[in-house]
Amino acid sequence: MSEGEHQFPHHADTGPGEQPLEPSEGGARSYLIGLGLAILLTIASFFFAGSDAIWGPAIPIALIVLAIAQMGVHLVFFLHITTAPDHTNNVMALAFGVLIVFLVIGGSVWIMSHLNANMMPTAAMMQMR
């Protein structure tokens, strides 16, 4: 066995080029901060949805902003996805996933918005029967 194979004997599941987490990274403090922020954002979402604190038509936008902030909290504090040089693959995988989600949602909205224009008129459908 070579010297590199025993570099991290207690972390046999690490991938190529992956560094094990230091004990200070991702500790209980990080998770508690993330939990507190997640709870705060959830309470804020319910507050804005059920009150007249903001202008009525702006509520969906406020909920979208709070949902994006919630996703950011989960990515940083629970999944530990950062822009550090050793997390480049994680960030690229996340960006690709976001791209796929936007393509699926955008395609669905586009199809639904053009659905009525591409449908056969009701009078023509009745004549076919």
Same domain, 29 and 44: yes
Closest CA relative to residue 22, chosen from 34, 5, 8: 8
Same domain, 34 and 75: yes
Residue 52 predicted with pLDDT over 70: yes
Q: What angle do CA 85, 67, 110 make, to 5 degrees?
A: 95
Tokens of 109: 């909205």
In a domain, 4, yes or no: no
Output the pLDDT for position 84.
76
For the question of whether the overall pTM of this predicted structure is more than 0.85, the answer is: no
Output the pLDDT for position 24.
46
Number of domains in the chain: 2
Same domain, 30 and 69: yes
Q: What is the mean pLDDT of residues 29-39?
A: 92
% of the chain beyond a pLDDT of 90: 33
Please give the residue range of the domain that contains residue 64: 22-80
Output the pLDDT for position 38.
95
Sign of CA dihedral 69, 34, 74, 84: positive
Q: How many residues does the chain have?
A: 129
Sign of CA dihedral 88, 89, 90, 95: positive
In a domain, 8, yes or no: no
User: What would the DSSP string read from start to end of 69-126?
Assistant: HHHHHIIIIIS---S-GGGHHHHHHHHHHHHHHHHHHHHHHHHHHHHHHHSPPHHHHH
Same domain, 105 and 76: no
In a domain, 59, yes or no: yes
Same domain, 57 and 106: no
Same domain, 75 and 44: yes
In a domain, 117, yes or no: yes
User: Phi first, then psi: what are they for 117, rounded to 5°?
Assistant: -70, -30
Alpha-carbon Rg of the chain, whole angstroms? 24
Same domain, 59 and 73: yes
Per-residue pLDDT of 77-125, as tens digits, reads 888 887 777 777 888 888 898 899 999 999 999 988 888 777 777 777 7
In a domain, 40, yes or no: yes
Same domain, 94 and 123: yes
